[in-house]
Amino acid sequence: MPARYARFDTMPLAGTWRAGTSGRSAEDVDPYTGEVLTELPLAGRDDLELAYATAVEAGRRWAAVTPEERAAVMRRASRLLEERREEAVDWTIRETGAVSAVAELTIDLTVGDFYEAASYPFRVAGRILDSLVPGKENRVYRRPVGVVTVISPWNVPLHLTNRSVAPALALGNAVVVKPAGDTPVAGGLFLARLLEEAGLPPGVLSVVVGPGSEIGDALVEHPVPRVISFTGSTAVGEGIARKAGLKKLALELGGNGPLVVLDDADLDLAVDTAVFGKFFHAGQICMITNRIVVDAAVHDAFVERYVERVRALPAGDPRAEETVIGPIINRSQLGTILDKLRAARDDGAEQLLGGEPTGPTGLVLPPHVLLGTNEVATARQEVFGPVVTVIRADGEEDALRIANDTELGLSSAVMTGDVERGVRFARRVEAGMCHINDSPVNDDHHTAFGGDKASGLGRFGGDWVIDELTTDQWVSVQHERRQYPF
């Protein structure tokens, strides 16, 4: 086992690890125990300016290296992460409150990000196009956009940062990352150490840990970055879209995922899928099931089995092997969830299962199951916690209407005994992703993540990400002397 990375009390800014100059510091706290993991002097506007200025110059040099050199850094990073798996899992558990199964999957996905990214330098393709002018050819080259800004969330920070960072770097761009304040290490600093050890040149990647109130607008309004990659809430994403100006945007925003159980579904499979699809990582995933829409013919039987299964889910210390549901990330987020629960009950929802928060910091919320309509607060809004609303539907068409009755459209699922019926249903669901007889929590790292409606725009995987993070340049070549009209 390699020695653990040193204490994370500085950040990589413009080629060197240093403290931020904002004059303010922030504590990084374990949400379950309340332990202070590190204290970090925060970055300010001057740090951001320096990071962007350095990224321009370092990025040009990085774009000029061979595709194999960039791919080799990605391959080394993937191997190093495997070697440091235990360390990365520990940071993920302590910083996010994730249980071990979530942390292990996070590392698997992040390793996959690097492996996939290692192929990107060899998948960039140009074109040669005919011309209307005799003796002329038109060449379309694909080149890096330049500098990419990545603003990442706290819930699965290592992977959700790296799914943008690794492709951007592999394609020859420089990157400036702003991780969430709750997860600065897993969301950026650990990744930076890993890539530094893998041979990424200084200045190509900067991590700016600072208050959104001071540097948030500057991150997206600044003229240097050409692409903004953001994963987070719809409200913040809409603000970025208003402020970014003439930049490419890759936004994965909120979700209100329906899991639809049709009348011919295997109920045991539907229950298993709905339990995992809701309570994985305590429901703190944008693609999680927020609503379960069940055909009236099987509604009561499903609810009885589902409540029985959910009641048995252990909630508590994320370090304990048996724990399924760990803590909510912070007190503000817990308060938002509790407010939505109260509003849903006021709206007429019937709570079948629930309980008060527990644990050393009072952030472990036991699983909640409610019966209600699509109009109650916990169905109308994204909850982002261990709370689910079960909704009765009068047949397939009503189930489809309920599933689509939301402004959000990220991920979804349908359970049925007839796969082709499921496909026909899925193609009418207004969501960027729909899974048949599987959870809406998509764990295919190479998949094109992205949403419909107010859940975002752009894609984060596969060949789509090459299009997002490179740009066309048209170069024409006149091989024969041309006769101009004047």
Tell me, yes or no, whether 187 and 267 share the same domain: no
Q: Which structural domain range is residue 269 located in?
A: 257-436
**CA contacts within 13 A on the Cβ side of 230:** 26
pTM (predicted TM-score)? 0.95
Instruction: Check residue 443 and give its pLDDT.
Output: 61
Q: Which of 249-258, 321-330, 375-384 has the lowest mean pLDDT?
A: 249-258
Annotated active-site residue in 87, 95, 116, 252: 252
Annotated active-site residue in 87, 95, 116, 286: 286
What's the token pair of residue 143? 């080149």
Round to the nearest angstrom and report the end-to-end CA distance of the chain.
Answer: 74
Q: DSSP for 363-409, please give it.
A: -BPPPEEEE--TTSHHHHS---SSEEEEEEESSHHHHHHHHH-SSEE
Tell me, yes or no, whether 283 and 368 share the same domain: yes
Residues 316-337: pLDDT tens digits? 999 999 999 999 999 999 999 9
Tell me, yes or no, whether 79 and 140 share the same domain: yes
**252 has catalytic annotation:** yes
Query: Contact 364/316 with Cβ under 8 angstroms?
Result: yes
Alpha carbons 66 and 268: distance in angstroms, whole number:
52
Residues 289-317: pLDDT tens digits? 999 999 999 999 999 999 999 999 999 99
Average pLDDT, the chain: 95
Tell me, yes or no, whether 199 and 268 share the same domain: no
Alpha carbons 359 and 328: distance in angstroms, whole number:
11
CATH number at residue 38: 3.40.605.10
Residues 342-369: pLDDT tens digits? 999 999 999 999 999 999 999 999 999 9
Residues 413-429: pLDDT tens digits? 999 999 999 999 999 99
Query: Contact 158/190 with Cβ under 8 angstroms?
Result: yes
Tell me, yes or no, whether 381 and 293 share the same domain: yes
Tell me, yes or no, whether 152 and 284 share the same domain: no
**Which of 279, 307, 262, 280 lies closest to 400 in space, CA to CA?**
262
Q: What is the mean pLDDT of residues 265-269?
A: 98
Tell me, yes or no, whether 265 and 198 share the same domain: no
Residue 394, domain member (yes or no): yes
Alpha carbons 430 and 409: distance in angstroms, whole number:
6
Tell me, yes or no, whether 227 and 85 share the same domain: yes
Number of structural domains found in the chain: 2
Residue 445, domain member (yes or no): no
Instruction: Check residue 456 and give its pLDDT.
Output: 73
Tell me, yes or no, whether 228 and 202 share the same domain: yes
Tell me, yes or no, whether 15 and 78 share the same domain: yes
Query: Contact 91/191 with Cβ under 8 angstroms?
Result: no
Tell me, yes or no, whether 323 and 464 share the same domain: no
Tell me, yes or no, whether 236 and 371 share the same domain: no
Alpha carbons 151 and 192: distance in angstroms, whole number:
14
Residue 448, domain member (yes or no): no
Residue 361, domain member (yes or no): yes
Say yes or no to pLDDT of 449 above 70. no
pLDDT band at 442 (very low <50, low <70, confident <90, very high): low
Instruction: Check residue 52 and give its pLDDT.
Output: 98
Residue 6, domain member (yes or no): no
